[in-house]
Copies of this chain bind each other. A is one copy, B any other.
Amino acid sequence: MTTALKSYTFDGNFRMHRAGHLKSPTLVYETWGELNTAKDNAILIFSGLSPSAHAASSKDDKSPGWWENMIGSGLPIDTDKYFIISVNSLGSCFGSTGPASINPETGERYRLTFPVLTLEDVAEASYMIVQHLGIKCLHTVIGCSMGGMSGLVYCVRHPNAVNRFISISSAARALPFSIAVRSLQREMIRSDTKWQKGNYDLGDPPITGQRLARKLGMITYRSTEEWTQRFGRERLTDHARIEDQFFAEFSIESYLEAHANTFSDVFDPNCYLYLSYASDLFDLAEYGGSLAEGFKQLQLKKALVIGVRTDILFPIEQQRELKEGISSVCSDTRLVELDCIRGHDSFLVDMDAFCPVIDKFFESCD
């Protein structure tokens, strides 16, 4: 298999935001386009919780990425003009160091000995890559969902190292509804007897808990409007056995089943727990004691906040809060509220709505 993945191993201890350290963590990343001589055309992308660094295809890896129609030659994030960096989040399981990795200090997998992960750590790990690439100041930081929170904290902690910021379906902090959803997802995994307090057999992981967690995710990532249009009350076959009668009479149920199976095959359960929990912990108000103070740490030339009205996980009120907060220090801040019906996931699937907005942002940078 060809790969476009690059790898960087930090020489020394990486200090974690809350407590503890990682010895010589590795970060993997992909890049597209060319860094110009002035090194002022670099865009850093923070993904949501589950994707790898593979945001788009390239000559070295022709498989489609998670934002395939957004990044490329002539696309909104234009590889002919910009040098684009996508890092697999610290704590994830697609090449970067995380709970599923071997701890070089013990020779064993970290599992729950991995220190508490925060989005500050995710941001700092990516900052390390940016420094490694010799970039002093990023043209733009873009973050989607959890990545929007990582991106925001990146901008707050390195105000002189970012010029512009795009936040997509994200928030300045996690609120109780989202915390409740994620906490329940984590409990589903932890309740699976196969989880074994994180010491599961890698060949027999807590797949039942993972599948339940993913289904709850899907329920909150999409919207009731979309499903009503798409599935209505369409039914599958009738079932012969009574114990099956509580399940999968309706198409929506088999749709969730298919998605849950795909996800559970690839994502490490402990990594999921750490990243999910990191999202709950994030609160911009930790910078200065209030959200207002937190936003004041920013030094941006230009910002864009995009939200979707059917998003129940990062609701539109949180997009307005971001717009208001960033505006207090950056007059060139725009909020775009989209009427996509696919809820939180719209940025991944509704390219017709998102591409023109991102396109316009970069056009106006020229």
- Partner-B contacts on A (CB < 8 A): 112-113, 116, 173-177, 179-181, 183-184, 186-188, 190-191, 193, 197-198, 208, 212, 215-216, 218-219, 223-224, 227-228, 230-233, 242-243, 245-253, 256, 273, 276-277, 280-281, 283, 285, 312, 315
Contact = CB atoms under 8 A, between A and B. Distances in A.
Instruction: Rank and list the top 7 A-B pairs by shortest CB-CB distance, nearest first.
Output: A176-B227, A177-B224, A176-B252, A176-B231, A186-B246, A183-B253, A112-B242
Given A188-B212, A193-B193, A198-B243, A183 B224 contact: no
A358 B315 CA distance: 32
Contact of A245 (B116, B174, B247, B248): B116
Given A175-B233, A233-B283, A183 B228 contact: no
A46 to B, nearest CB: 22
A344 to B, nearest CB: 13
Contacts of A247: 183, 186-187, 190
A211 to B, nearest CB: 8
A277 B245 contact: yes
A228 B186 CA distance: 21
Given A175-B228, A190-B247, 19 more contacts: A112-B242, A116-B245, A175-B227, A176-B232, A176-B250, A176-B252, A179-B252, A180-B252, A180-B253, A183-B247, A183-B253, A186-B247, A187-B215, A188-B188, A198-B243, A224-B315, A245-B277, A249-B280, A312-B312
6 contacts: A176-B252, A180-B219, A183-B247, A187-B212, A233-B283, A249-B281
A224 B344 CA distance: 15
Contacts of A215: 180, 184, 187
A287 B281 CA distance: 50
A20 to B, nearest CB: 10
Contacts of A230: 176
Contacts of A188: 188, 212
A235 B198 CA distance: 24
Nearest to A251: B176
Given A179-B252, A227-B175, A250-B183, A243 B212 contact: no
A227 B176 CA distance: 6
Q: Which among A212, A276, A312 has the greatest number of chain B C-beta atoms within 10 A?
A: A212
Given A176-B227, A188-B188, A227-B180, A246 B232 contact: no
A173 B212 contact: no
Contact of A177 (B174, B219, B242, B253): B219
Contacts of A208: 191
A261 to B, nearest CB: 13
A246 B273 contact: yes
Contact of A175 (B181, B184, B224): B224
A252 B175 CA distance: 10
A56 B175 CA distance: 35
Contacts of A223: 177
A140 B74 CA distance: 65
A112 to B, nearest CB: 5
Contact of A212 (B212, B283, B285): B212
